[in-house]
Chain A
Amino acid sequence: MINVDSVHKSYDLGETSVHALRGVTFSIEKGEFVSIMGPSGSGKSTLMNIIGCLDTPSEGTYFLNQRNVGQLDEEQLAGIRNKEIGFIFQQFHLLPRSTALENVALPLKYASVQRTEQLSRAEEVLNKVGLSDRLSHKPTELSGGEQQRVAIARALVNSPSILFADEPTGNLDSKTGSEVLEIFKELNEKGQTIVVITHERDIAKQSHRTITIKDGEIESDSMN
């Protein structure tokens, strides 16, 4: 499903350039629950951006569902992000003035789904994450855990083939954090491929496989 082959990424900063990734190779199969771990500055965010199709590699190839991402243009990348990938962020990134329902329906708008279907599908996934009584609440009226569950619903609404979570529990207390992880486990049991980026070993341990990044290279790749 995901095939990363000797991917390099460097950023040009005028006179010097920073090598965030120095030849990373791995693959992830359908149905896996993988965590990518590493300290800050290790290049894990850069890796996440690349496999999340938010950025393209400087060198090397990246295939997502047999498509060479490096050769796609902006519009095609947007299409992949919309249909193949679901993102969950540390800061939730909900639109502050829209209701939970509207926030969840947002990816469907960019997929040009009919309005009535947008709302029914958004409601359906909100039910799945246990927020059926919070549909018309705005983010400020929700707790941190509830906000992250809205974000999970938004990531799931277009039935993506892969779910990316970047420090999903970073802004939550440990109780709600483990609730979110429980949701991930349930989803994975139903066949959802999940990649979690984290710097906490406790969280990484709950996945099935951990890839550790250090200084832009893979330090270890092992099953838990």
Chain B
Amino acid sequence: MIIEESVNSALDSIKTNLLRSLLTALAIIIGTAAVIAMVGIGTGAQQAIEDSISSLGAKTVSVFPGQKKKRGIRSSWVALWLNDAEALSKDSEIAWRISPEMHGNKQVKFGDKNANFSVNGVQPNFFSVNSFILTKGKLFSENDNFSRKRVAVLGNAVQEELKIPEEMLLNKEIQIGGISFKVIGFLGEKGSGGWENTDEKIYIPMMTASTRVYGRKWINTVRIQIPEGTSINKAMMSIERVLRREHDIGPGEDNDFRIIDWSQIQQIQKDATAIFTTLIAGIAGISLLVGGIGVMNIMLVSVTERTKEIGLRKALGATPRAILFQFIIEAIILCMIGGIIGALLGTFLYFLAASFSEQLPFVLPILAIFGSITFSACVGLFFGIWPAKRAARLDPAVALQYE
């Protein structure tokens, strides 16, 4: 009974002072909207990073060239060679899969169309190591690699960028750096892995790249897929052992190559996103507290304005507790209205951000929505108590005479 009367009276009071109520709730609205938008964008970004982890395959590490270090001084860069990749392939301690890459940018021409692409020399196992899906045509074979065939497989975005339909390109000749290649296959969309877009690349056999396109035997990187059941640390130690032997590095000398554990990098990215999200959410939380103080202020004004009404209610039999209840409920409803408007606004902002970004998925942040509405109700409860207590303590005889 008293709850119903309190809610009605609260809504009535908010309606009567609509502008004042909305201005008071503004800080709550902004705070909640910021929380929802940031939590939404944050979790969306986390989701994107997780997706890119699984798209890479759970356990891959990459080896990059490094610098020789003699007596603490870094000197020249030391290349990674095709031989290094071969030595890794031949090592039988771990059943890993070795996929060297040789890449550079080349002008690509088809008829009157031309564009610049990253052209990657890879071995035939590259596609399965990186879990690519073939959508049309075929991939190149070991045989194509050994016989240095001029064949090319196009990443998903290449044909789009050239603005030529797939059917017109398949089994046709394109010019890569002035050399004629036959397009034999198209890859499915893989999306950006965060640091590179594998869809915007052209893939050709490693030996073809080495002898016909780039004319070199050093490679840019080796990607190594580690089998399930083998720890990444153990695999990294094996890689170190093989490459130190190949590069003739004596005991006590530093590596002249770098091994990068992608899952670790992704973890760092995830952690950074999480810290960023927490930070923004914290700032938003402060805004909610500031909003709470605003609500407390306006509730004090409301109590003073309605001193006579409080006196009347008390004369008609309202207990101090009923009055306390009435004003606390008013503060809670005021904050919750702010919370609900803020949640809608925040979800809308997140939705906008998600629809403008290709990488950010939209996942309705239900937990954050309910959480922040509940939190704003708690803000109302906390900051409503003091004004409500003042109202409850008013002397009815004095309050009735108040002008």
Chain A residues near B (Cβ < 8 Å):
49, 52, 54-55, 74-75, 78-79, 81-83, 87, 89, 93, 95, 97-98, 106-107, 109-113, 115, 154, 158
- B308: interface (CB < 8 Å): yes
- B23: interface (CB < 8 Å): no
Least CB distance, B324 to chain A, in whole angstroms = 11
Q: Which residues of A contact B309 (CB under 8 A)?
A: 95
Q: Which residues of A contact B397 (CB under 8 A)?
A: 49, 54-55
| Minimal Cβ-Cβ distance residue in A for B399 | A54
Check if A110 sits within 8 Å of B319, measured CB to CB. yes
Check if B318 sits within 8 Å of A93, measured CB to CB. no
- Among the 9-residue stretches B1-9, B34-42, B187-195, the one with 4 or more Cβ atoms under 8 Å from chain A is B1-9
- B320: interface (CB < 8 Å): yes
Per-residue interface assignment for chain B, residues 291 to 329, with 1 indicating a CB less than 8 Å from any chain A CB and 0 otherwise: 000000000000000001100111111111110000000
- B87: interface (CB < 8 Å): no
Query: Sorted from nearest, which 4 A-B pairs have the closest CB atoms?
Result: A82-B317, A78-B319, A54-B397, A49-B397
A-B contact pairs, 12 of them (CB 8 A): A78-B314, A79-B317, A82-B317, A82-B318, A83-B317, A89-B312, A89-B400, A93-B315, A95-B309, A109-B5, A113-B1, A154-B316
Q: Which residues of A contact B321 (CB under 8 A)?
A: 75
Chain B interface size range: 20 to 34
Q: Which residues of B contact A79 (CB under 8 A)?
A: 317, 319
- B16: interface (CB < 8 Å): yes
Check if A107 sits within 8 Å of B400, measured CB to CB. no
Check if B317 sits within 8 Å of A78, measured CB to CB. yes
Given contacts A74-B320, A79-B317, A93-B308, 5 further A-B contacts (CB under 8 A): A52-B315, A87-B316, A109-B5, A111-B317, A113-B1
Q: Which residues of A contact B121 (CB under 8 A)?
A: none
Check if A82 sits within 8 Å of B2, measured CB to CB. no
| Minimal Cβ-Cβ distance residue in B for A107 | B316
Indicate which residue in B2, B308, B316 contacts A112 across the interface (CB closer than 8 Å). B2
| Minimal Cβ-Cβ distance residue in A for B395 | A55
| Minimal Cβ-Cβ distance residue in B for A98 | B12
Q: Which residues of A contact B1 (CB under 8 A)?
A: 109, 112-113, 115
CA distance A191 to B395 in the complex (A): 32
CA distance A74 to B16 in the complex (A): 30
Check if B317 sits within 8 Å of A110, measured CB to CB. yes
- B124: interface (CB < 8 Å): no
- B396: interface (CB < 8 Å): yes
Q: Which residues of A contact B308 (CB under 8 A)?
A: 93
Check if A74 sits within 8 Å of B2, measured CB to CB. no
Known contacts A55-B397, A93-B308; A81/B315 CB under 8 A: yes
Check if A110 sits within 8 Å of B400, measured CB to CB. no
Q: Which residues of A contact B16 (CB under 8 A)?
A: 97
CA distance A111 to B396 in the complex (A): 18
Check if B400 sits within 8 Å of A106, measured CB to CB. no
| Minimal Cβ-Cβ distance residue in A for B320 | A74
Check if B322 sits within 8 Å of A110, measured CB to CB. yes
| Minimal Cβ-Cβ distance residue in B for A110 | B317
Indicate which residue in B5, B319, B400 contacts A74 across the interface (CB closer than 8 Å). B319
Per-residue interface assignment for chain B, residues 187 to 209, with 1 indicating a CB less than 8 Å from any chain A CB and 0 otherwise: 00000000000000000000000
CA distance A107 to B318 in the complex (A): 8
Indicate which residue in B2, B312, B315, B396 contacts A109 across the interface (CB closer than 8 Å). B2
Check if A81 sits within 8 Å of B12, measured CB to CB. no
Known contacts A97-B12, A109-B1, A109-B2; A54/B319 CB under 8 A: no
Check if A110 sits within 8 Å of B316, measured CB to CB. yes
Per-residue interface assignment for chain B, residues 218 to 257, with 1 indicating a CB less than 8 Å from any chain A CB and 0 otherwise: 0000000000000000000000000000000000000000
